[in-house]
A = this chain, B = another copy of it.
Amino acid sequence: MNENLLGIAAGILTSISMLPQLIKVIKEKNVGDLSWIMILILILGLSLWVWYGVLKNEHPIIVSNAFAVLVNICLFICYFLYKDNAD
């Protein structure tokens, strides 16, 4: 299988996987079972993957991780907006 196509497919799936969580949090305005530590460490790690992709010049890695950084920044903001709604 072509490596770039595989990378793009992998990137689309891992990017899409972030969205239902974000949509669910925005709809329910409840983040009681989410871990903000996870989100913060994830943002740092994903940012390093973007850097790695830039150094290796691998576009699937750059694009999918940059998208994931954006989604998780939204999730991080939502956490602090909605955390007082937790039961």
Residues of A within 8 A of B (CB): 1, 3, 6-7, 9-21, 24-25, 28, 30-35, 37-39, 41-42, 44-46, 48-49, 51-52, 55-56, 58, 60, 87
Q: A20-B38, A30-B33, A52-B60 given as contacts; is B3 within 8 A of A46 (CB)?
A: no
A6 to B37, CA, bound (A): 21
Across the interface, name the chain B residue whose C-beta is closest to A12: B45
Q: Chain copies in the assembly? A: 2
- Closest chain B residue to A48, Cβ basis: B10
**Contact in complex: B38, A6 (CB < 8 Å):** no
Q: Give the 9 A-B residue pairs with the shortest CB-CB distance, closest first.
A: A13-B45, A10-B48, A14-B45, A33-B33, A17-B42, A17-B41, A20-B35, A10-B49, A20-B38
